[in-house]
Amino acid sequence: MRFILRSLLACAAIVSAAGIGPAFAAYPEKPVKVIVPFAAGGPTDVMARLIAQKLSESLKQQFYIENRAGAGGNLGMAEVARAAPDGYTMLVASSSFVVNPSLYAKNPYDAYKDFAPVTLAAASPNILVVNASFAAKSAKELVEILKKEPGKYSIANPGVGTTPQLAAELFKLQLKLDATSVPFNGAGPAIQSAVAGHTPIAFTALPPTSPQVKAGTLRGLAVTSAKRSAALPDVPTMAELGFKDQESETMQGIFLPANTPKAIVDLLNKEVAKAMAMEDVKAKCAQLGFDPVANSPEQFTAYIKKEVEKWGKVIKDAKIPQIQ
């Protein structure tokens, strides 16, 4: 009897080592909850629904969205951090995931210990824009104007702790510019203020801004990605213009709770990568202003560490007060 038991345990160990353990060999066996830590209708929600649809089709099980908005995304992210590590609770998060650890005095999750990163599914750069009637025709001309008249101008952004706000602070810090940051309650109001000329300069995420740039009501001066965006291919990057180390973006990342079996992490990584390579998904991403990425869990883990450290330094150097 003992010999049989030892044999069974040995077989189970071999199966588990092969990444097909009995606990998750048939994963997913039931619907998977996908938490979006923001309200329905925003970029992260749209991307999450697109990915969930493709996962439902490929894995023959429902991946359904639950919106858990609040506290800059912290409510939903903390819920996933506390969830069972069985693959049946997934998180689709934006860049608040890497910003909030430094922005909040008591952040409810540990970005390094509480999650199993699956993949950076897609990312969208931020964009520096000005009102169409503003004097600056390029980012270099804008810098000259701001340096010539320090303290005169304001720069709109979607809100405290958003990557567009931090991109503006990084821009000001590195170029030693004196301009007031004006946080709005979302991208819409910030863009409207720039279009109306109340705050004729703005840093915003690219997706909600590209229609105004295409329509000519705002002038795109530079994007903060390493390469030009397919959504606005005529707008140069900061690096092209000689402004180094200005990269910033809004990510769309996939996470599972920490200690989720590696086989499940790898399976979802493979399926998301497959989805992001589909022509209809690439077309939708281009329409939204996102560039597909779909990197490995290891690459995504390194990305998270780099981003947490980068934005923590900007928050500290720009003296942005922590949210209590």
Can the peptide bond before residue 28 be classed as cis, meaning omega within 30 degrees of 0?
yes
Indicate the pTM of the whole model: 0.85
Residues 278 and 263 in one domain: yes
Least confident of 130-139, 180-189, 264-273: 180-189
Q: pLDDT tens digits for 217-254?
A: 999 999 999 889 888 999 999 999 999 999 999 999 99
pLDDT at residue 21 greater than cutoff 60: no
- CATH number, residue 295: 3.40.190.150
d(CA 218, CA 195): 6
Residue after which a domain boundary falls, among 161, 188, 223:
223
**What integer is the mean pLDDT of 169-178?**
95
CATH code: domain of residue 156: 3.40.190.10
The reported pLDDT for the residue numbered 188 is 86
Question: End of a domain among 223, 241, 262?
Answer: 223
Specify if 245 maps to a domain: no
DSSP assignment letter at 223:
E
Structure tokens at 247: 């990269």
Q: What are phi and psi of 183, to 5 degrees?
A: -80, 135
Q: Is residue 7 part of a domain?
A: no
Q: What is the domain extent for residue 211?
A: 125-223
Q: Which residues lie below 8 Å from residue 45, measured CB to CB, with a gap of 6+?
A: 36, 38, 39, 65, 67
In the 3-class helix/strand/coil scheme, how is 31-73 assigned residue by residue? CEEEEECCCCCCHHHHHHHHHHHHHHHHHCCCEEEEECCCHHH
On whether residue 108 sits in a domain, the answer given is yes
For 320, other C-beta atoms within 10 Å of its C-beta total 19
Q: How confident is the model at residue 24 (pLDDT cuts 50, 70, 90)?
A: low
The full length of the chain comes to 324
